[in-house]
Amino acid sequence: MALIPIDAHLAGPSPPSFPPPETFDFIPNTHDLLLRLLPPNSPPGQSSQVNLAPLEPKDVDNEASRIRIKIQKARAILNDLPDITRSIDQQEEEVKALEEKIRKQREVLGRIRDLKAVKDAAAGR
């Protein structure tokens, strides 16, 4: 019988890998798109980035589609996360069940510590 390290049991399943925050950051892209729609002679305080090429209204849909695609990809990533469809009630039930399991395991460990044979072995008898 092979011994399994105790840490392997305590660690539990590894958390899912989560995409970088930039995956869900749409505001800068939307801001840049809107800045490109401002007329070139707008007051200086309205345009914080002068390096953006002006955008014609007819090209807005094409440029906005990039943002829509980014949002669609982010939604797909979120939908692929494990347990994303579980309700809060289901998650709370699982937490309660796990807490009860921990309580029972601690109780059993306490009983094992109280056994005479364990006390004798710890004392070196």
| Structural domain contains residue 9 | no
Q: How far apart are CA 34 and CA 71, in angstroms?
A: 17
Give percent of the chain above pLDDT 70: 78
Q: What tokens were used for 62?
A: 């094409």
Mean pLDDT over 106-119 rounds to 83
| Structural domain contains residue 4 | no
pLDDT band per the 50, 70, 90 thresholds, residue 13: low
Residues 122 and 81 placed together within one structural domain of the fold: no
pLDDT band per the 50, 70, 90 thresholds, residue 1: very low
Residues 30 and 76 placed together within one structural domain of the fold: yes
Domain count, the chain: 2
| Structural domain contains residue 67 | yes
User: Which domain range does residue 120 map to?
Assistant: 86-125
Q: Which amino acid is at 98?
A: L
Top pLDDT among 11 and 96 is at 96
Q: What is the pLDDT of residues 33-89, one digit of tens each?
A: 988 888 777 665 554 555 788 888 888 999 999 999 999 999 999 888 888 888 999
Q: How far apart are CA 37 and CA 54, in angstroms?
A: 6
